[in-house]
Structure 1
């Protein structure tokens, strides 16, 4: 075999190998999801947004909740019997209000128990989905986020602040129009949060959640920890199944030339020992 044939063979293998690798990962995901379904007796749905690499130019693009996500999740819920619980695994920065609201409404209406798992973060629209669950299971270090509406690059609540700090005659027409839209947007999101939360929480808790999460008390990227979520009245557990973490490992980020985080991928039940010394972890004295 000459060098030219070897070159073409190498090129063919290089082009086919990623397809096989992706197929293996997808199969592993389905097997792990099926294992979790059998363990919990539920329908498992994963809504996981990672950065993905475009096949042509190779640069990362951000993923978020969109209409395609809502269509697929609504179809999965429709295919689930009323007596079958739903486990939704969330890892998302948020997304379109319309798409998130559609999913949240469908989850809230499901008769059987709905559990939302948040292994890392579920911001904005992701938090709206978590409010529709009977139970939220978060990693001890996972976070949720406010659901206050954003108009372009600005929070709706901040646009309304302009009306409080400046005379109306000194404000341009475009800002006044944005302020009117902002007021409507906040009222709409508050009503949505309250309606969804009322499915699983007392009315006073739902009212407080709507006020705290939708009115711009925090910046839109503010991380709401497990402790703060509980203080708000959310039903939060930290009993995260090991399969959730395993599943997250099967959604790799876009490939980089050099990994930015490295560690030995194994648990350390005790302190690692120095060569020639006994381990320090279980000593007493």
Structure 2
């Protein structure tokens, strides 16, 4: 075999190897999802967002909750019988408010029990989704976070606080418009949190939590630990199934074209046995 052939074979291998590895890892994930569903007797949905880096340039890529994620999760829920419980394994820094609210509403309206499982963290929009579930199962070292809205790169509450320190005639129109959007965003998220909590927690507790979590009491990345969640009156279960950690390990290595939401893409019949 001449040297040029060896070089071509090498480049072909470099091209196909990541694809083969990706397909193998994908099959492993589906296998674990099916095992998890068999143990829990549920529809399992996985949404995992991780920071990745391009191997060539080292540029960080951040994943977050998008409209595409909400479309996939809503589709999975529609394919699940009303009497089948749903487990959503969640690992996310947050994302679009609209997408997070769509997922939260879909979980809340599902008639069977819904559970959000958090092996490491679910911040911002992820916390909003978790609050809508009937049960939160969380690792003892995992955290959630506040759900106060962000306007661009700034917290809505901080924009309002900054505007309140100045006279109106000292501010330009753009800043005033930004402040108006920030006020509306806080009110909207506060009302949404109240709506998803009032039925299972009561009106008084729902008002307290919606005010505390939505109005910028803490920084947006403030970690709500197990003890802090319990102090707030948010019930959590720390008995995380071991198979969740095994599944989570399959997302450790960055792979090109990896979907962030996965589930077994077939409709389940009512009363399906695993």
Using the size of structure 2 for normalisation, the TM-score is 0.89
The residue that corresponds to 1:191 in the other structure is 191
Deviation at residue 58 of structure 1 after TM alignment: 6.6
Per-residue deviation, 1:169: 2.4
Q: Which residue of 2 aligns with 1:207?
A: 207
For 2:101, the equivalent position in structure 1 comes to 101
User: 1:171-229: per-residue Cα shift (whole Å, max 9, x none)?
Assistant: 22222211111111110000011111224322222111100110000011111101111
Farther off after superposition, 176-185 or 101-110: 176-185
Does structure 1 residue 83 correspond to structure 2 residue 75? no
Match of 1:126 in 2: 126
> Which one is further off, 55-64 or 36-45?
55-64
CA distance, structure 2, for counterparts of residue 220 and residue 85 of structure 1: 31
CA contact (8 A) 1:134 1:235 kept: no
Query: Is the counterpart of residue 244 in structure 1 residue 244 in structure 2?
Result: yes
Partner residue in 2 for 1:66: 66
SS at match of 1:161: helix
The yes-or-no answer on 1:14 pairing with 2:14 is yes
CA contact (8 A) 1:116 1:136 kept: yes
**Could you tell me whether the CA contact under 8 Å between 1:51 and 1:253 is conserved in 2?**
no
Alignment deviations for residues 239-262 of structure 1 (CA, whole Å, 9 cap, x no partner): 00111111111012448xxxxxxx
Q: 1:265 — aligned with what?
A: none
User: Structure 2: how far apart are the matches of 1:188 and 1:3?
Assistant: 66
For residue 260 of structure 2, what is the aligned residue in structure 1?
none
Q: 1:71 & 1:56 partners in 2: Cα distance?
A: 32
Aligned counterpart, 2:158: 158
Count of residues paired in the alignment: 255
Q: Secondary structure at the match of 1:200?
A: helix
> 2:104 aligns to what SS in structure 1?
helix
Q: Which moved more, 1:162-171 or 1:239-248?
A: 162-171
Gaps of at least 5 residues in structure 2 are 256-274
| 8 A Cα contact 1:133 1:200, kept in partner | no
Q: Match of 1:167?
A: 167
Question: Secondary structure of the residue that 1:127 maps to in structure 2?
Answer: helix
1:5 aligns with 2:5: yes
Contact 1:108 1:199 in 2 (8 A): no
Question: Which secondary structure state, in structure 1, belongs to the residue aligned with residue 117 of structure 2?
Answer: strand
Higher relative contact order (CA 8 A, sep 6+): 2
CA deviation after TM superposition for structure 1 residue 162, in Å: 2.5
- Give the match for residue 25 of structure 1: 25
Q: CA deviation at 1:137?
A: 0.8
TM-score (norm 1): 0.85
**1:195 partner SS:** helix
SS of residue matched to 1:65: coil
The answer for the alignment partner of 1:140 in structure 2 is 140
DSSP 3-state at the match of 2:136: strand
Take 2:60 and 2:242, find their aligned partners in 1: how far apart are those partners? 28
Aligned to 1:224: 224
Aligned to 1:92: 92
Q: What is the deviation of 1:161?
A: 1.1
Distance 1:40 1:17 in 2: 35
Which structure has the larger Rg?
A: 1
Deviating runs (4+, > 3 A) in structure 1? 52-60
Which residue is 1:235 aligned to?
A: 235
Moved more, 185-194 or 14-23: 14-23
Q: What secondary structure does 1:236 align onto?
A: coil
Quote the residue 2:264 is aligned against.
Answer: none
